[in-house]
Structure 1
């Protein structure tokens, strides 16, 4: 309602001869401040959507981003804590009334909190340091209700990110709600990742110690959060984190058969030995055989600038809305701002680059925006694109240089196969 009211006032000022760009900039800034302040005060679906949006903070123009950058960062790892007595009640229900016998120490104060649960540090009975993730009582019903409400309000988010359709993101989040609310599913996902990356020189995943529907206990991981590296990390740390993050999202579908679906800095850490620590496996999508080969073929065609073939491939795979017409040239012009990382062996991801690319695509008056209105994101690709774009957004926040092409060449199905077919 606040955003709608300000929009009406802004429209009146435009009619009265006010400067359009200045008015739009002020409205966008005010909308962003209000929206992310509200999201930051809520648990459940509102905060989850805020976390999904927060990884693209680097795409927001600097003059708009500064007022709420701190709020966006907090959305990645913070929420009001659950009182100790309620935590104990959940543990009674999930681990039995003698749950304390399983621990030699349990800290009542949480070390981290997020959208549907919070984490406590403890010592397991065998002496291992562990993290105990406890789901908020009633989080399941609250999350379902929040997501339904937010779906009805999806249009208001265009006030912050014009041209970005939030509804597919909400639909995809809703579809995975049930899996994420059952911590046994999360524990099984984490077991699969931990087994594959056990002893890996690049990635570290804590092992699962115990699990129940609303509680999961894993080994404790001590490392530097990516949010700290974004704020004060060295160039070496930033580059290492960016390269590891990009490779994790491309490699894990091929190696584990699962896509980690929650890309925000709160879920990643950098260990002293340079390994990327990965947390929170509640939102994972099955990817047997790796990412869809059609994505690799699309990247190869874009790299080779074979836009006539790319346009046909997009149309054949429902990336173009039925009845809409787009030309090869329009597709070429639309994609070029985003293809910089694949035209060089090593690419420097920066906020300014991402702002330029995102700004081109979301400018209402541009031909790129008109092209975007003819394009479609099939439901089966929503999570993939959200994760890969989120990974790029974090790399831009890190100001990282990463060997992106080498990673794609190694891990993206369909990319090298298309080279052989072309030859």
Structure 2
């Protein structure tokens, strides 16, 4: 690693401020551009143009504009894009590869910040003598994310470390982006099939302040690292140092990103079947077991946060978004699954009603609950389940089918209690990645082993 502890002034504050001031203008152009193209497309259809061809062209241009802006702006825009990326498998094939490619790019790609800005952040966060804490520091970032970028360095004790530095003004940009994106939620939901946009934005907005303070992330990661230390299947890098806008963790050598496993699987499904199934099983076990083992749920499930080590262990990074579950998963979750498995929908309906899953004043019958849940229950009907893009597309299509009045009527009577929002976000994201991997895994065994209430409720009943 080259020694890069010297200064290099290749950026200015005015340049950063200028870029930040154009954020809302760029985001605001998205709905205007889509509306304008839709009007032109409508005119072409009236003139006798091929409707399917025109729709495909409009979808492609809409996707290209949306994701190009999300990726360029970092901040809340890119964080939203990363959250959407796990639902890439739900995008119907007729919408083409432009959605898939654009969503996947948002998992780890963003333009780097100037070196001078990196050094200023390190001065402010680690002290002006920060260079003495490193033997070497590479000014060229190795990765970028929604609110920060990562540099490889050597700590004073000889350890190779990853230094995540928050972008200057990331806090203001993140809040501004989320405010603008929330206003555009309805439009974006219409052009991104398979993703429920509003809850994703609501959850990101709610956890904004936590993710902006890397000391909170450092605390989460320390808790995970201690709980999983020496684990034969998982690796959590230890935290070396943390400040509000800088966090230093152990470096992962020769790690293969899960995104690469996914892309290789798409190119050669037969050749990587064993690895894809193994990765999916490890991700499932990590998410299901971590509340019991660590008292926390890693709540940022996109492929950029998971890597496969040469010895087969799954390495997990980025602990900015975590949900505290000190007593593990709520037992009611296991009870609901047990009732759904045995198709005791009358008891399930009563359980949901008395525990806040049905909106007060609304009523639903057990037949309505049974019909509503039918598209989602495939993974709990067998000991193992093969998650595929076709299955994901079918489920997402039924869940968002506005022409199914009965389904919509039931949906309007139901609500997700606040304490389950993050759990279902992680569950949905994990399933999305399993579908991208085209993997088969023992989903029900994970549920039985790690979710309290399932075994007990079935035995007691």
Partner of residue 140, structure 1: 171
Which of residues 209, 226, 236 in structure 1 aligns to 2:258?
A: 226
Q: Which moved more, 1:259-268 or 1:343-352?
A: 343-352
Partner of residue 260, structure 1: 298
Once residues 320 and 9 of structure 1 are traced to their aligned partners in structure 2, the CA distance between those partners, rounded to angstroms, is 43
Once residues 190 and 99 of structure 2 are traced to their aligned partners in structure 1, the CA distance between those partners, rounded to angstroms, is 15
**Helix, strand or coil at the partner of 2:154:** strand
Equivalence map 1:317-356=2 (5 Å): 317-356=355-394
The alpha-carbon deviation at position 22 of structure 1 amounts to 6.9
**Helix, strand or coil at the partner of 2:73:** coil
Q: Does residue 421 of structure 1 match 2:460?
A: yes
| Mapped contact 2:289–2:450 kept (Cα < 8 A) | yes
Unmatched segments (≥5 aa) in structure 2: 1-31, 266-271
| 1:283-342 CA distance string (max 9 Å, x none) | 111111111212111111111111112222222233233444433222212212211111
Partner of residue 333, structure 2: 295
The alpha-carbon deviation at position 165 of structure 1 amounts to 4.0
Once residues 276 and 255 of structure 1 are traced to their aligned partners in structure 2, the CA distance between those partners, rounded to angstroms, is 16
Once residues 262 and 364 of structure 2 are traced to their aligned partners in structure 1, the CA distance between those partners, rounded to angstroms, is 39
Classify 1:384/1:65 alpha carbon distance in 2 versus 1 (closer, same or farther; 3 Å). Answer: farther
Classify 1:248/1:163 alpha carbon distance in 2 versus 1 (closer, same or farther; 3 Å). Answer: closer
Which of residues 172, 187, 191 in structure 1 aligns to 2:203?
A: 172
Which of residues 90, 93, 109 in structure 1 aligns to 2:140?
A: 109
CA RMSD of aligned residues (A): 2.1
TM, length-normalised to structure 1:
0.94
Q: Which moved more, 1:347-356 or 1:333-342?
A: 333-342
Once residues 38 and 328 of structure 2 are traced to their aligned partners in structure 1, the CA distance between those partners, rounded to angstroms, is 44
**Helix, strand or coil at the partner of 2:339:** helix
Once residues 274 and 413 of structure 1 are traced to their aligned partners in structure 2, the CA distance between those partners, rounded to angstroms, is 28
Once residues 71 and 251 of structure 2 are traced to their aligned partners in structure 1, the CA distance between those partners, rounded to angstroms, is 26
Unmatched segments (≥5 aa) in structure 1: none
The alpha-carbon deviation at position 34 of structure 1 amounts to 2.5
Once residues 329 and 23 of structure 1 are traced to their aligned partners in structure 2, the CA distance between those partners, rounded to angstroms, is 41
| Mapped contact 1:28–1:159 kept (Cα < 8 A) | no
The alpha-carbon deviation at position 221 of structure 1 amounts to 0.9
The alpha-carbon deviation at position 217 of structure 1 amounts to 0.5
Once residues 318 and 6 of structure 1 are traced to their aligned partners in structure 2, the CA distance between those partners, rounded to angstroms, is 43
**Helix, strand or coil at the partner of 1:341:** helix
Q: Which moved more, 1:196-205 or 1:152-161?
A: 152-161
Count of aligned pairs between the two proteins: 422
Which of residues 233, 239, 263 in structure 2 aligns to 1:202?
A: 233
TM, length-normalised to structure 2:
0.87
The alpha-carbon deviation at position 65 of structure 1 amounts to 4.3
| 1:60-109 CA distance string (max 9 Å, x none) | 11121411322111111111101111111111111111111111111110
